[in-house]
Structure 1
Amino acid sequence: MQKNILVIYYSQTGQLEDIVKNVAKPFENNEQYKVTYYNIKLKKDFPFPWPSDFFFNTFPESYLQIPSEIYPPSDEVLNTKFDLILFGYQVWYLTPSIPVISFLKSGFAENILKDTPIVTISGTRNMWMLSQEKLKVYLKRMNAKLVGNIALVDRHDNYTSVLTILKWLTTGKKEASGMLPAAGVSDEEINGAGKYGQIIKTYLDKGDFANLQPDLVKNGAVEIRPFLVRMEKVGNKIFTIWSKLIINKKEKRPLLIKFFKVYLMTAIWVVSPIVLVFHLLLTPILWFKRKKQREYLQGINLK
């Protein structure tokens, strides 16, 4: 019997679309599978490239997971029982992006995701770990079956990737220029993402996903950098304060957004190096704790 595969995604730059389509390639042009693509579409979409002020102005709604209205999925997506869903998502401000949250909070998501094996796929700068934890909560509430996770990232150092991603988001230029490398996930990793699809296909054919995630991890699908986990935890605490302040002080929003922008740049370039020093100094003491943390974040379970 033919198996139905659904690929869900939202992509502004095209990077995530390329990733999920490469992961889905092993299922294409094969009469045993039917692949359906669902590109989440907002009724009021976000611009790309981003005007700088517009980008920072999306922060509070992004972090607080405030949805926007989406167009309904097609009848085919709504009325088909899928055997597997490849769920591609972006991360905005340490949280699944507004389009993804809008889908998850719509009346459509639960009917599509419920009781269905799901492999989450992200293409991010480098901080995705706690965003994945937030996504796990949604999937659990909907009784979806998270069976795998693929997290492709920019492999450059944290500070270089900040410069390249800001250039890409505000100018639309991803390619290398001057002393800066190309932004985002490397073309090599994007083009090679089909290997993960082949692994997923093997487990789908067996009808047993029990060892899928360890197999994906073994093949490079997930990299955990303990320092970035620490930065995410700190960032979530600070973002909670800033987002609520901006939302609750509507009359002062433009001014507060400007202050937040200054704070964020200061945190990246001044506070982050200090946190890194303490992180390195504490490595011998916290080695085992970080090892357990790494193993958990590489997995698919929810604490």
Structure 2
Amino acid sequence: MTGRAPLVRVYWYSQTGQLKETVDAFVGPLADAGWRVDRRQVVPKEDYPFPWSARRFVSVLTEAADRSTVSDVSIEHGGAVEDDRAPDLVVYAFQVWYLAPSVPMRSVLVRFADEFAGVPVIGLTACRNMWYSAAVAVRRQVNQVGGRYLGTVAAIDDAPPAATFVTTLRWLLTGRREPFSVFPRAGVGPEQLARVRAAGEAVAEATADAGGALADRVPGALRRSDAAVVDQTIAAADLLAGRFFGVWARLAKAARPGVPRRLVLVAFLCWLFGSVLFGLPVVALVRKLAGRRFDRALRRALAPVLAAEAKS
């Protein structure tokens, strides 16, 4: 590394503020270590208000799950640092919508593709528990525009999946995330943010050494800090369901506006609830029957987006 302070550029879009908290946890240690942090907020021209209305939440499937869909976005500089030189590292912070990168964030890689060409990129996400299909899509798109994808940092809601299905929907549709009845608080908790912070510290420590290319040292730092912990069963269900979400999106787009499209979306909701109830148990059973072959196939599928080995 040269004598100048290294520069990390962060591209982010967050409706709820949760992803911004996760970004802060990761880049905080870099700033403490002397990095310059250039934050660039992605602003979609089409508003995606939060909380979602039920109708908008369902209808956005046709945009989100069809990964060819992009929208008009602009970039606003945020924070004290605005540095237009080529960054040493880019953090691409993305929400997950219907198992795909959010429409505003994937639009950045189309509208501002030149800003990612030739630079190392870390994908960072904060979501319920299914980030795998979205990370695969992000990695593919980053590489298509000439970037180098180094790995993923993922923070999840680590409450039981059945509970998070309820609490996350409640949060998205009402804006309320506090605990209620037998259900925990929705969203990423302090332990997950601490793990993300540890990943930032590991990257800061690894890149403080002047030997070798900075980008070559980042994957090892992510690996040592468990930056993206993999749940094998949930990951397999995610990768499988991601394909079906795309099918549903195309069906909804092909249907005529009005009653025909609403019927497709109602059918999708029925399929979605059925998948939540029965999908994970079926995948867990298949994994048990297939044994190591299942895990090897999953590791191969996820290897491009991970800097760490998948954990059982």
In the alignment, which residue of structure 2 is the partner of 1:91? 96
Determine the structure 2 residue equivalent to 1:223: 229
Question: Residues 22-101 of structure 1: matches in 2 within 5 Å?
Answer: 22-28=25-31, 32-65=34-67, 66-74=69-77, 79-101=84-106
How far off is 1:284 after superposition?
5.6
Deviation at 1:290, TM superposition (A): 4.6
Tell me if structure 1 keeps the 8 A contact 2:123–2:138. no
User: 2:201 and 2:231 mapped to 1: Cα distance?
Assistant: 26
Q: CA offsets per residue over residues 110-134 of structure 1, 9 Å max, x none?
A: 2211111221111111111121111
1:132 paired to 2:135: yes
The reply to whether residue 268 of structure 1 matches residue 270 of structure 2 is: no
Is the CA contact 2:139–2:305 (under 8 Å) kept in the aligned structure 1?
A: no
Please point out which of 264, 267, 282 is paired with 1:259: 267
**Contact 1:149–1:213 under 8 Å retained in 2:** no
Contact 2:65 2:246 in 1 (8 A): yes
SS of equivalent to 2:223: helix
Q: Give the 3-state SS of the residue equivalent to 1:38 in structure 2.
A: strand
Query: Which residue matches 1:242?
Result: 248
Structure 1 contact 42–68 (Cα < 8 Å) conserved = yes
Which ranges in structure 1 are unaligned for 5 or more consecutive residues?
A: none
d(CA) in 2 for partners of 1:188, 1:54 = 32
TM-score, scaled to structure 2 = 0.86
Cα–Cα, structure 1 residues 72 and 162, in superposed 2: closer, same or farther, change >3 Å? same
- How far residue 275 of structure 1 moved from its aligned partner, in angstroms, is 3.3
Matched residue, 1:10? 13
Residue of 122, 144, 147 corresponding to 1:144: 147
CA distance in 1 between counterparts of 2:21 and 2:287 reads 35
Paired residue type of 1:240: G
Q: CA deviation at 1:205?
A: 3.0
**Structure 2 residue matching 1:71: 3-state secondary structure:** strand
Task: Give the direction of change, closer, same or farther, for the CA distance of 1:61–1:295 in structure 2 (3 Å limit).
Answer: closer
Q: Does residue 105 in structure 1 map to residue 110 in structure 2? A: yes
Closer, same or farther in 2 for the Cα pair 1:241/1:146, shift >3 Å?
A: closer
Quick one: which amino acid aligns to residue 208 of structure 1?
A: L
The one-character-per-residue Cα deviations of 1:205-263 (angstroms, maximum 9, x if unpaired) are 33433243233233221111221222123212322221111111133222221221122
In the alignment, is residue 182 of structure 1 matched against residue 185 of structure 2?
A: yes
How many percent of aligned residue pairs carry the same amino acid?
22
Q: Which amino acid is the alignment partner of residue 96 of structure 2?
A: V
Q: Secondary structure at the match of 2:40?
A: strand
Aligned residues: 298
Question: C-alpha separation between the residues in 1 aligned to 2:275 and 2:123?
Answer: 29
Aligned residues of 2:12 and 2:40 also touching (Cα < 8 A): yes
